[in-house]
Amino acid sequence: MKTEFWPVFWKEMIKFFRFKSLFFTTLVQPALWMAFFGTAMSSNFDRLNVLYSIPSGVGQVGYLTFMGAGVIAMTALFTSLYGGMTLIYDKNFGLMKEMIASPMQRSQIILGLGLSGITKGFIQAIIIMVFGTLFLGVDFFSQQNLPGIVCSVLGILLFVGTFSLGFIFLSSGIALRLETHEGMQGIMTVLSMPLFFVSNALYPADAFPAVLKALSVINPLTYLVNGIRYFAIGNDFYALGKHYIYTTEIVSWSYAALLIFTLCTFVFAMDSINNVSVT
Amino acid sequence: MDDISFEVLQGEIFSFLGPNGAGKSTTINLLTTLMKVQKGEAIVAGHNVATDSRSVRRSIGIVFQNEVLDRDLTVRETLEFHGMIYQIPREKRREIIEDLLEIVDLGSKRNVRTKYLSGGMKRRLEIARGLMTRPKILFLDEPTIGLDPQTRLKIWEHIREINDSGTTIFLTTHYMDEADNLSDRIAIIDNGKIIVTETPDNLKQSLGRDVIRINTGDNRAATSLLENNSRDLSISRSDDGITLITEKDGSSVLPSILNLLNGAGIDLLNVDVKKPTLDEVFVHYTGREIRDEPTDKVQPRPRPHRRR
């Protein structure tokens, strides 16, 4: 029965769209990052650009465009990281009993939630791309024709989807092992800060001190940002004093890294749901 | 649960009656496959709970003791969701939902979110949900806990209707009147053991003919006096007075009791003669009364603001 997870997905999406204010804030947050942090920093960084000599034939990319990719990644991270929270309510208020006492297999709960995580990630990524390029001056897909843009968007969604799935599995697995909403909130806060800042989302990671650099290498967010930049900006550009070259190998490896991460968290989430006690 | 064994007949309303903590919910959890049977065997609707849990789940409906409703879904969505997880096709689902909303009188509330429903409406919705899958057996765990008297009567009515249409009902309760009113048979359960299983009438008749309750100026002296002088009475004393269960017609026994007390100079404060109720039956079998202590299950649960 391959569509057994459908009701879980259906219910999540109803609630995602039902709460207008919540839906709206998840979209406003990335816009605010770009509008305030982005524009403020870009006036600083772009002033420093005169200090670097840009190799001929390489395009210079403004900071807002550079960080736009990071903001898409950040939004996917936060949305999926909090996506498992709903399981704590389901568990504590008995809603999970309804599903566990039904003929539906437990694993389907995780799959349904995962699909809802991907969908939310897609909706947000697309809105950020449209909003950023139309209103904030983010310069995505500049050298590309229409079919190229469609392919690039699909490429970005592939990366965002895999990443979101990985983090919603992680978040679900943690939620199923915790008792309280407060505990979950605490863990999410502790996780989200290093994940976000120890990555190449807002700045290049190459100049990090050795420890941070090592952490950035095992940070899935780094690989997501690689993928988004490759598709949105290009395989050869210059930003923040660094020459970015994304070869096919780098991008393929980045995707493989996300897949490995998602497989690991999938195993973790499955183990959690199969061992959860609901009585 | 301590070595229990019982059979529920097809089409009957069978009640587990016992105080909180007696093991009623545990039994439901075992029979509905939410908990694993440690030792022994349970067959539900012809399927073994341990080896064929998916078939068991397809044959049963459950109404849990605690409110289990997603407060952000509407009445119709709640039923839709349930139908979907049981893979009922869309057209059939719609049809069943319309029928059930009619049965539990929630038709006008179909698009209201469950958090805006009253306690009785929520319970009726949960019962409707338990019936979505047209189960052979409906499990009801304390169906009227925390509800007002009128709502309880209404829910009893629904339960009887459901039973009349052929659904076997397994009910747990700690309310005497609920067990008495609804059940075809009652199992009195205490400390994880089944003490007796009988029809309500047989349970009451097993005690004797009538119950005389008296209250005197000196209950202690009156009790020992009666114990020494009457052979056909079963006597028990509590804080509220003395309960006498007679083997003969109560009103013919009463004068001799009054004479006895009078002769000993014990003041009689009040007298009451009635048929035995399930309360006396319960005290008789377990040696204690069910105290309807307030449990936190009855209180509305605090719900922190949701975020995701």
Mean pLDDT of A25-43: 85
What's residue B308's pLDDT?
A: 43
Between the ranges A88-92, A202-206, A253-257, where is the mean pLDDT highest?
A253-257
Q: Which residues of chain A have a CB within 8 Å of the CB of B62?
A: 101
Handedness of CA B109, B114, B119, B122 (dihedral sign): positive
For an interface test with B, the pick among A79, A92, A98 (most B C-beta atoms closer than 10 Å) comes out as A98
Residues 100-159 of A with CB under 8 A from B: 100-104
Between the ranges A274-278, B116-120, B292-296, where is the mean pLDDT highest?
B116-120
Q: Do B73 and A14 make contact, defined as CB atoms within 8 angstroms?
A: yes
> A193 in contact with B at a CB cutoff of 8 Å?
no
Minimal Cα–Cα distance from A245 to chain B, Å?
37
Between the ranges A99-108, B107-116, B155-164, where is the mean pLDDT highest?
B107-116
Q: Among A65, A33, A37, A61, which Cα is nearest to A49's?
A: A61
Minimal Cα–Cα distance from B293 to chain A, Å?
22
What's residue B260's pLDDT?
A: 84
Minimal Cα–Cα distance from B234 to chain A, Å?
42
Q: Which residues of chain B have a CB within 8 Å of the CB of A1?
A: 87
Q: Do B73 and A7 make contact, defined as CB atoms within 8 angstroms?
A: no
Q: Given B64, B84, B304, which is nearest A181 (Cβ)?
A: B304
Q: Do B54 and A18 make contact, defined as CB atoms within 8 angstroms?
A: no
∠ Cα A62 A67 A73 (to 5°): 150
Is this complex's ipTM strictly greater than 0.90? no
Specify the DSSP class assigned to residue B113.
Answer: B
Q: How confident is the model at residue B292 (pLDDT cuts 50, 70, 90)?
A: low
pTM above the 0.90 mark?
no
* Mean pLDDT, rounded, of chain A: 89
Q: Which residues of chain A have a CB within 8 Å of the CB of B64?
A: 94, 97
Q: Do B87 and A93 make contact, defined as CB atoms within 8 angstroms?
A: no
* Mean pLDDT, rounded, of chain B: 84
d(C-alpha A176, C-alpha A192), whole Å: 19
Side chain identity at residue A72, one-letter code: I
Specify the DSSP class assigned to residue A50.
Answer: G
Q: Do A279 and B29 make contact, defined as CB atoms within 8 angstroms?
A: yes
Minimal Cα–Cα distance from A87 to chain B, Å?
10
Strands B168-173, B137-141: pairing kind: parallel
Residue B121 has pLDDT above 50, yes or no: yes
pLDDT for B215-252, tens place per residue? Answer: 888 888 888 888 887 777 788 888 778 888 887 777 78
Q: Which residue of B has its CA nearest to A188?
A: B308
Q: How confident is the model at residue A2 (pLDDT cuts 50, 70, 90)?
A: low
Q: Which residue of A has its CA nearest to B58?
A: A103
Residue B99 has pLDDT above 80, yes or no: yes
Minimal Cα–Cα distance from A3 to chain B, Å?
9
Q: Given B62, B67, B87, which is nearest A101 (Cβ)?
A: B62
Query: For the ranges A144-148, A157-161, B111-115, which has the lowest average pLDDT?
Result: A144-148
Q: Which residues of chain A have a CB within 8 Å of the CB of B82?
A: 98, 102
Q: Which residues of chain B have a CB within 8 Å of the CB of A104?
A: 85-86
What's residue A11's pLDDT?
A: 93
Specify the DSSP class assigned to residue A10.
Answer: H
Residue A221 has pLDDT above 90, yes or no: yes
d(C-alpha A206, C-alpha A222), whole Å: 11
Q: Percentage of chain A with pLDDT > 70?
A: 99
Give the residue with greater pLDDT, B296 vs A83: A83
Handedness of CA A212, A218, A221, A226 (dihedral sign): positive
Residues 21-60 of A with CB under 8 A from B: 22
Q: Do A98 and B77 make contact, defined as CB atoms within 8 angstroms?
A: no
What's residue A7's pLDDT?
A: 93
- Max CA-CA distance within chain A? 67
> In whole angstroms, what separates CA A55 from the centre of its chain?
32
Q: Do A278 and B32 make contact, defined as CB atoms within 8 angstroms?
A: no
Mean pLDDT of B183-204: 88
pLDDT for B39-98, tens place per residue? Answer: 888 889 889 888 888 889 889 999 998 889 998 999 999 999 999 999 899 999 999 999
Beta bridge partners of B111: none
Tell me if B140 sits within 8 A of B63, measured CB to CB: yes
Q: Do A85 and B308 make contact, defined as CB atoms within 8 angstroms?
A: yes
Residue B298 has pLDDT above 50, yes or no: no
Q: Percentage of chain A with pLDDT > 90?
A: 49
Q: How confident is the model at residue B304 (pLDDT cuts 50, 70, 90)?
A: very low
What's residue B78's pLDDT?
A: 95
Q: How confident is the model at residue A177 (pLDDT cuts 50, 70, 90)?
A: very high
Q: How confident is the model at residue B306 (pLDDT cuts 50, 70, 90)?
A: very low
Residue A231 has pLDDT above 80, yes or no: yes
Tell me if A262 sits within 8 A of A165, measured CB to CB: yes
Q: Which residues of chain A have a CB within 8 Å of the CB of B69?
A: 95
Mean pLDDT of A221-230: 94
Residue B5 has pLDDT above 90, yes or no: no
pLDDT for A180-215, tens place per residue? Answer: 889 999 999 999 989 999 999 988 888 889 999 999
Q: Do A11 and B81 make contact, defined as CB atoms within 8 angstroms?
A: yes
Residue A172 CB coordination number (10 Å): 29
In total, the C-beta contacts within 8 angstroms joining chain A to chain B are 70
Give the residue with greater pLDDT, A27 vs B165: B165
Q: Which residue of B has its CA nearest to A90?
A: B70
Beta bridge partners of B17: B173, B188
Residue B297 has pLDDT above 60, yes or no: no
Minimal Cα–Cα distance from A144 to chain B, Å?
36
Give the residue with greater pLDDT, A78 vs A25: A78
Mean pLDDT of B181-195: 89
Residue B294 has pLDDT above 70, yes or no: no
